[in-house]
Structure formats: structure tokens, C-alpha cells
Structure 1
């Protein structure tokens, strides 16, 4: 089952995508509410509207968004690109690491992504996201683009925190949620999803990898997120960026030069994941922001 959220005639609806139509949930239920129920098949739907007549939005507004780094190849390439150090940290192998990013700036398909005006090293990140359902089970999956301002990220992470402003300006989810049962046939014997993932910039493929090259399954990452903490239905878990060109910075780290070049205004990025669909966005620039004043020296210190 595919669950989407869309705008139509000035109103926002969530429902089921069947063939070339979208069918709203009865009683005005949102995708998040249906995820919390845990059984989309039991929710009544209304008459359909042609998919071509609606504007798809991010499929749900998550409770939180944890983004993991589950691909060894990505860690090695981006680490060299961002901070100049090669290899994979030993700590990466201990457990699936994640950071929290902004759930309030998530956008859907076919909308412009406004990068910070000050950033010139603009990048995409090809990921799959799992949506958590009741009882700490995986409800479904969607595509996640974790947009990255690499120059801002590189500077702020010198403080050994983050990433923060290099990331939280935007993320993309879509085009819809595919329920977990639909993708079970792609699971290998170890529980990894063998889904082909590709990334294109202006119609040219720059990345291709299998989701099953993850270091941990989504179930293991969910268990780690819940350890000594709390995960609720509606939380979203990003897989981390796939390897083999799942982002530009990985390629820059391998070659030592920015080739392919950073994203520019007008560039169109399309991420495709087998069994889920396509997620396309165009790059723009946000208005320039005011500079941040430097830190005040502590009192009593010259």
C-alpha cells in the first residue's frame, strides 16, 4: 500500500494511492494518525481524485527524525572531503550512529530547495527512510534527501558537534510511504532490503548502490535508537547516504577535487529507489541572512 499526503483545491489530504488516483482517508485522518494506528488497510477511504491533479507533499510530518550513517563507503569518502581525514573511525563499527535533524523543514516532491545563500558547496544525499509504527515496528519506507551545505558543515563540525546549520535548512521526503509488507519480497536472508538506489543531477546518473550494503538493518537501527531512550510511532529513521556516489562529497573525497561540481541554482536532483519511486527537487538560493556576531570573550579575561 502507498500512503501519500497532497494538496488539492486549497486543502491538504492524506490517503491511499491506487493506480493513478489518490483516495483520502475517511474522517480526515492524517498519514501520521494512520501510522500511529498501525493498520492502514483497516482505514476507510473516500472516492479518488486523479493523481495528476494533486500536488504531492511530504508524506507525513514526523515526530522526530534520526539520520544514521549506515554505509561504510559513504563515511570514508565524506570524512576525507569534509575534514581531510581518511578511513573509517573505529567507533563507527561499534553501533549505528545517528544525529537528530529538523523535522519542521521537510519538503515534498517537485518543490524548490532553498540553500543558504552563503553556501557554495551544495550537495544532495540519497537515503531511504523507515517510518516507525506502533510497538516499535517498521510501518513503511520512503525516500529521503538529506540536503547538505558542505562548506557550512565542514566549518561547524570543527567544534566536534553537529552537523547543524549545514543540514537543517531543508530535507525532502517522498513521494509516498510504501508499507513494509510491500517490500518484504526484497529482503535477503539477513533481513536487508535489496533495493537499487540511484541519483541523477540534470538527468545524468552520478550514483548507484544497493540499500542492502548497509552495515545494519533498519530493525537493528530502531532497536539502537530505542536503547536507553524512547521511540514513538511517527518517528522517522534515515538510512544514511548510500555509497558509490550517493552524494557528491563522497566523490570529492575520493578524487580530491569537486567533480562533479557542487549543485547550482536551477540544477534538478532526482533520487530513485526500487519499489518506492522517484523524488525530484530543484535547487535555488534563500535570501542572504544577517551575519552572526562573534562570541564575546568571557568576563575577566583580556
Structure 2
């Protein structure tokens, strides 16, 4: 199944829809996708959407939002080894041995979640804005202290995730052994559909899925990788994320960037002249085979409001 949150052309409210034969079958009522996941009635909702839809909207005419418009939390991991190696070297370091001992993640800003076509502003004060090509799993049922072998049962589906990153701000704040924070919280984009695990199961390989991942800027191919190259499985990520706490329906778990999946890596290997950081007016497209795409226009962000002398250099 493929689920979406879209703006109804009938009443201009956000509704949940099931993709069926090229059209979104909108659900009656005002339940969000999180509400449906929490109640455990996804299969029942699918039957209702087909049998008695509120409306039927051709997918090409649907105004899509992020499937989970306001996740309870977003944890973003760092699970592709090649990305970790190259990006750490670009920042003047090396991969930490602890990366091989347990998956690591940071929390980002749920309020900054954006849909697949919503404009993304540059972070205030940045001159090194970057995309990150990732896949995300969305939690479908509560779980604590999950075992890696059973944790996949808590995944409702997958979507494309872009972790937009201000590299200069990120590097500055992480020298203080905290963050990333302002370097990351301007926006997190999700693709338009939540794809249920059964649709991807035929492509399972290694710890991931044999699915091509790619990115382009202004129509020029930039990144290319494969989801099968992931080092930490989603089961392992969920087990670690749930340790001593509770994962909730709608929580988003990002994989981290695929190898070559950001400008930071590409510029280090091939040079910043060939791969400059993003600017207002750029168009970025991220695709993951069988899952979806993000296609956004970059806009100028707000000016910096200085809070200290150090901030004045960005004005």
C-alpha cells in the first residue's frame, strides 16, 4: 500500500488518501495518518478508502504534504559507512571506532517537516547549504527495548528523507561537543507516499533493499548509491533507538546519508568548483527507486538576527 497526506480539492483540508490505480482515494473523517497508525486500523482504513472514498483525486493533480506532517520525533542515524568515512575526512577528522559498535543518531526538528514539493529556504547565515539523500522508516506501533530481529515489525512504511544541512553552521557548533542543531533544523523533507514494507520485501538484499538512490541539482546528476549498501539495518537502528524509551506511531527514523549522497562528500572528492553548495533558485531532486521522490526549489532564507558579537559576521 501507498498512503499519502494531501490537501483536498473539495474542502482544502489535509486528508489521508490511499493510492489505488493511479488515484488517491481520500478517507472520510478527519483522522491523520498518525491517528490511523495509533489505532492499528491501517488495513481497515484501506478497505474503507476503496469501498467508500470521500473523493478520488488523480495522483498527478494531488497537492501532497509529508505523509506524517508533524512526527512526534525525528531521529536521524548515520548508517552508511562510505558516507561516514568521506564526510568525516572532509571535516578534518576520521571515522570513530565507536561507529562500528552501535548505530548513532541525533534528534532534529519535527516542526520543520516539509512535503515533497514545498520550497526549502536556506538556513540563516549559511554559505554552505547541502542536501542529504536518505530513506526513512516510519514507526507504526509503540515499542520499547526492541530486539533487532523483531524491530522491523514496528515499521509502518518507508519514505524518502532529505536532511537539509548548513555545513558551516554545523561545523561551528559541533566544535563545542553538542549538536548538530541550527545547522540542521531549517527543514527536513519527506517524499509524498508512505510505502508499506510488503512492497519492498521482494527487493531485500544484505541489510537493506536493492534500490537505486540518486540526486540531481538543476538537472545535473550529482549522487548515486544503493540502499543495499547500508551497514546498520533498520532493525538494528530501531532496537538502539528504543533502548530505555518508547518509539511512538509516526516517529521518523532516518537512515543517514547514502555514500556520495551529499555535496560535502562530492566536493571533497571532486572539488567545490564542480559541486558548489546550494543557492537560492536551485532545484534539487532526490529519488529512491520504488519509494518516491523529493523535488524542491531553494529559496533565500531570512536574515540573521544577531544574538551575540559572533553572529554579526553573518549579517
TM-score when normalising by structure 1: 0.92
Match for residue 109 of structure 1 among 109, 116, 127: 116
Is 2:88 the partner of 1:71?
no
1:147 aligns with 2:158: no
> Deviation at 1:54?
2.5
For residue 41 of structure 1, what is the aligned residue in structure 2?
A: 43
1:261 counterpart residue number: 276
Quick one: structure 1 residues 186 and 216, their matched pair in 2 at CA, closer, same or farther if it must change by over 3 Å? same
In angstroms, what is the RMSD of aligned CA positions?
Answer: 1.6
The worse-fitting range, judged by mean Cα deviation, of 124-133 and 15-24 is 15-24
| Aligned counterpart in structure 2 of residue 50 of structure 1, from 46, 58, 81 | 58
Instruction: Structure 2: give runs of 5+ residues left out of the alignment.
Output: 144-153, 311-315
Structure 2 residue matching 1:17: 3-state secondary structure? strand
User: 1:27 offset after TM fit, Å?
Assistant: 2.4
Cα separation, 1, equivalents of 2:269 and 2:110: 31
CA distance in 2, matches of 1:143, 1:108: 10
TM-score of the two chains, using structure 2 as the length reference = 0.88
CA distance in 1, matches of 2:127, 2:164: 13
Moved more, 142-151 or 107-116: 107-116
In the TM superposition, residue 256 of structure 1 has moved relative to its aligned partner by 5.8
SS at 1:263's partner residue? coil
The secondary structure found in structure 2 opposite 1:33 is helix
CA distance in 2, matches of 1:177, 1:49: 17
The reply to whether residue 212 of structure 1 matches residue 228 of structure 2 is yes
Q: What aligned pairs does 1:176-215 form with structure 2 within 5 A after superposition?
A: 176-188=193-205, 190-215=206-231
- Residue 258 of structure 1 deviates from its aligned partner by 5.4
Cα deviation per residue 1:51-84 (whole Å; 9 max; x = unaligned)?
2332111111211000000011111221122x31
Deviation at 1:203, TM superposition (A): 1.2
Q: Does 1:59 align with 2:67?
A: yes
- Give the 3-state SS of the residue equivalent to 1:269 in structure 2: strand
Structure 1 position 39, deviation (Å):
4.3
Alpha-carbon contact 1:79-1:253 (below 8 Å) kept: no
Contact 1:8 1:53 in 2 (8 A): no
Q: How many residues align?
A: 291
Distance 2:273 2:166 in 1: 14
1:38–1:139 Cα contact (<8 Å) kept: no
